[in-house]
Amino acid sequence: MLLAGIAALGSGLLPGPAFEELAGRTLPVLGFVVAMSLVTELADDAGVFRAVTDRVAAWGRGRIRLLWSLVIGLSTLSTVFLSLDTTAVLVTPVVVLLAVHARIPPLPFALTTIWLANTASLLLPVSNLTNLLAQARLGLSPAAFASLVWAPALIGILLPPLLLWLAFRKELRGRYGPQPLHRVQDRVLLSASAGVVLLLLPALVSGIPVYLPASAAAAVLLGLFLWRRRSTLRWSMVPWRPLMLTAGLFMVVEALHANGATSFLAGAAGSGDSLPALLQLAGLGAGAANAVNNLPAYLALEPVGGSPVRLAALLIGVNLGPLVTPWASLATLLWHERLRALNVEIRWSGFAVAGLAAVVLTLPLAVLALWLTNRMH
C-alpha cells in the first residue's frame, strides 16, 4: 500500500500541493500513533495492565456477573482514553486469561473487549484514528468534539454490552474462586509507568495537540526503561506495518479524490442534516468499513461530510459499524491474533451474524441520538 501511494505521487496522480497538504495534516496523527504505541507497549511490559486486571479480579468478589461488569468498564476506559487498538492488543489477553483461570467461558469476555474496542471509540479524538482526522478537519477541541458526539457515543457504550448480556446471560451467572496475583518484577518501574499513564490521560483531553503529551510520555518511559530494563527495548515496538499501511492509504485515497472520487461518492452519500440523510451516510460508512476497512472508508467519504453533524454521522458508521467482517478494523485483526496465541477459537460466521445484529440495532439508535441532540442545539 505504501508503494502504491509512492507510485501515485511519483506518477502525478497525487499532485504535489495535495500531498503537502495531506502531510501537514496527517504527520502529527502518525506521530501520535507511534508515541501511544510505545507508551502502551512499555506500560504493559512494566505490568500496568496486569496489575489493573488483578484489582478487577479482586473487586469482582467471586461473582462472574460483577467481574464481567468491571471488564466492561475497563474495556470502555481503555478504548476512550488509550484507543481501540490498546483494548484489542493489551486488554484482551489479560481479560481472556482471567476468564480462563477462573474457569469461566472466555467467549463473552473476548467479544466484550472487541465490540467495545470499536463501539466505545467515538467519544474522544484519541479513541480512534478516524476521530483524530475528523477533529483536525473540524478544528474542534477535545471537549467540543465530545459535546458533538456524546449521545451516540453513549449508545455505543451501553447497547452492545446489553446485547451480549442477553446472548450470554447463562454463562455469566455463578461464582469464581480466588485468582493468583501476577508477580511484580520491578516495583519502581511499575509505579513510575503507572504514574506516567495517569498523568497522560488528562493531558490527552486538555486541548494540547495530542502528539505532544503522548511523545513526552513515550520519552519518559523510554528513559525509565533505559535505566531499569534496557533489554525490553526493541525496534519492533514501533508499529511499522500499520504505519506503512496507514501512510499508503492516506496517499492512495487522496490520489483518488484528486481524480474525481469525491463527485462519484457524493451521489451515494446524499446531502443535508435530516435524519434519513444522516442514516444514509452512516450506513454507507458502515458498509464501506466492512467491505474494505474503516480507515479508507472514512478517508474516502470525509469530503462528502460537509458539516460537523454529517461528519459525526460518518464516524458513527465507521466506528460503530465494523463488527461484521474480520478486516473491518485493524483492531479486530489484532484481537484475533491475540486470541489465537491464547488458543481461543472464534468462528467467523457466528462473529459476523452477531456483529450484524449489533450493528443493525446500534447504528440507527446512535444516529437518532446524534440527530436529536443536534436539533436541540
Q: CA torsion, points 157, 160, 165, 166, in degrees to nearest 10?
A: 140
Whole-number mean pLDDT of the chain?
Answer: 90
Residues contacting residue 76 through CB under 8 Å, at least 6 positions apart: 116, 120, 157
Q: Which amino acid is at 316?
A: I
The span from the CA of 82 to the CA of 37, in Å, is 10
For the purposes of burial, counting CB atoms within 10 Å of the CB of 198, is it exposed (0-12), middle (13-18) or buried (19 or more)?
exposed
Average pLDDT over residues 4-11: 92
Structural Rg of the chain based on CA atoms: 21
Q: What is the pLDDT of residue 344?
A: 87
Q: What is the pLDDT of residue 319?
A: 97
Predicted confidence (pLDDT) at residue 207 exceeds the cutoff of 90: no
The span from the CA of 338 to the CA of 88, in Å, is 8
Q: How many CA atoms lie within 13 A of 325 on its CB side?
A: 13
Q: What secondary structure letter does DSSP report for 171?
A: T
Q: What is the pLDDT of residue 232?
A: 87
CB atoms within 10 A of CB 167: 16
Q: Where are the domains of the chain?
A: 2-376
- Who wins on pLDDT, 155 or 129? 155
Q: What is the pLDDT of residue 366?
A: 98
Residues contacting residue 215 through CB under 8 Å, at least 6 positions apart: 31, 32, 35
pLDDT tens digits, 42-72: 998 999 988 888 888 889 888 999 999 999 9
Grid cell in block for residue 118: 470499536
The span from the CA of 301 to the CA of 377, in Å, is 25
